[in-house]
């Protein structure tokens, strides 16, 4: 049993190291893109909500405000 243990551990270790070494740049790039995207999303959504609120105010007239009080 111990004769087969060392080669198996070495194969697993080399496989993990190779996977890490191979995919590290891609994973770092994906992490940076995700961080940038999450930082841009709240700004864009708040800007669009402000724009829609301003357009709602601009389209309503003072006469419309008086009619809702009936």
What's the CA gap between 26 and 60, in Å, rounded?
Answer: 51
Write out the DSSP string of 5-70.
Answer: HHHHHHHHHHHHHHHHHHHHHHHHHHHHHHHHHHHHHHHHHHHHHHHHHHHHHHH--HHHHHHTT-
What's the CA gap between 25 and 31, in Å, rounded?
Answer: 10
What predicted TM-score, i.e. pTM, was given to this entire model?
0.45
In which residue are the tokens 């049993």 written? 1
Q: pLDDT digit of tens for each residue in the chain (70 aa)? A: 677 899 999 999 999 999 999 999 999 999 999 988 887 765 555 555 666 665 666 566 555 555 555 4
């Amino acid at each position: 049993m111990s004769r087969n243990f060392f080669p198996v551990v070495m194969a697993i270790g080399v496989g993990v190291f190779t996977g890490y070494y191979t995919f590290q740049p891609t994973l770092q790039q994906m992490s940076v893109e995700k961080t940038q995207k999450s930082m841009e999303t709240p700004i864009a959504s708040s800007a669009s909500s402000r724009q829609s609120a301003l357009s709602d105010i601009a389209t309503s007239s003072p006469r419309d405000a008086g009619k809702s009080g009936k």
